[in-house]
Chain A
Amino acid sequence: MSIKPKSNWELIKNGMFGENTIFRMAISLCPSIAVTNGMKNGVALGVSVVFVQTMVNLTVSLLRKFIHPKIRIPIFMLIIAGYVTIIDMLMATYARAIYREIGLYIQIIVAFASIFARAEVFANKNKVFSSICDGFGMGVGFLLAMIVISFFRELLGKGELFGVSIIAGNPLLIMILPAGGFLAVGLLMGFFNWIDMRFFGGKGASGV
């Protein structure tokens, strides 16, 4: 974490690229493997995360003066679980068609390291609007990562995108199995490190 204050746009950009949850920070890797075997799944979870991450950052930042530092962890847990539970209940009631598709993903957001990390690292110490920008940027960064991973996995593993057939013939079945998830995330992470070192003079994810 850099200490000098960043503008709101820099915060959003930082979340999307500089500190991308999956490719740069390497946290929240479970969903990046479990839920990226199709574009539809990846995008659904990504959008849910953008929303929850932004709302949690907003709430934590609003409450930061009331939260005693010694008990901040259980309180963050409550805020995250509360949002997830409420969204889950609202969707199960008023949007059942969508709920049947992405209800499972909403529930797993409770255990997201990235949301927890931003509440602890950023929202707990910064002003409300900066926290919203940070949460939104982090969420969008996660969404972008999910899109990239699931794009390659669905295209190679099933020959489809969003369930629409693109390539005929025998697809590489392994890409939509868990093993393919590790392959895709590992290779993409390496690729983005290479771009960072080659064109931006960075040190790669290990140097962050």
Chain B
Amino acid sequence: MVKITLNLVVIYLVGGLIMAFVYAKTSPIMFQKAKEEKEAALRLMMPEADTVVKLGDWEPHEKHAEYYAAQKCGELKIISVNDEKTGEMKEEKECLDPQDIGYIAEGYGKGYSSYIHVLASVDRNFVVQKISILSHGETPGLGDEIEKDYFLNQFQGKSADKLLVIKGETADKIQAITGATISSRAVTEDGVKNGVTMLKEKLSGGVEG
């Protein structure tokens, strides 16, 4: 009995140690890369902005999501900073007098077989500028059409009350993808619309800043 227990304990300890070692080695690099990818995606949402600043957190579908302000600098000042690690001087840009030109919300929409992770950017009047799908697990061949430009481009210039999915031709609302109405709805009426509405509620007081 003791022998069996020892056998199990030893093997599990060794296995656990190996996994812990790999995790310790890889996770800092992995989180760094994931952060960089998200920042790159955020910059793409508002190419004309100079910086993207985090404003706060919210929880759609009990998941953690963030929202951001896209800012244009009144003046870019280049300053020299002493890098603490290398001791060398390097140039860094300092943003003076930043102006909010729009906002970006991260959101989740409950789709056919997954939560669809979206980003939506709006201008200062909360009209959608651009949306992008960060990740999803919808049916390949049907639901994954939500990644295609012909669907995503429909969102530009829509305010929150126009974010409705219509089956068939529509000029001022969002046209559903054939065979993927649930995924289309999840992106439009859940992910993006809730994100835009949330931004409006939280920020409409301070828009004029």
Contact = CB atoms under 8 A, between A and B. Distances in A.
A86 B23 CA distance: 8
A68 B140 contact: no
B171 interface: no
Interface stretch (B1-9, B86-94, B96-104): B1-9
B30 A104 contact: no
Given A71-B8, A82-B19, A89 B26 contact: yes
A63 B139 CA distance: 41
Nearest to A40: B140
A70 B29 CA distance: 40
B19 A93 contact: no
A47 B124 CA distance: 49
B7 A71 contact: yes
Interface of B is mostly: helix
A79 B15 contact: yes
Interface residues of B, number: 23
Interface in B1-60: 3-4, 7-8, 11-12, 15, 18-19, 22-23, 26-27, 29-30, 33, 37
Contacts of A66: 7, 11
Interface residues of A, number: 28
A41 B137 CA distance: 13
B4 to A, nearest CB: 5
Interface string A60-76: 00010011101100110
B137 to A, nearest CB: 7
A176 B33 contact: no
Contacts of B18: 82, 86
B168 interface: no
A78 interface: yes
Nearest to A75: B11
B206 interface: no
A79 B15 CA distance: 8
B74 interface: no
Q: Sort A-B residue pairs by CB-CB distance and give the 8 closest, nearest first.
A: A93-B26, A93-B30, A176-B141, A68-B7, A78-B15, A82-B15, A89-B26, A71-B8
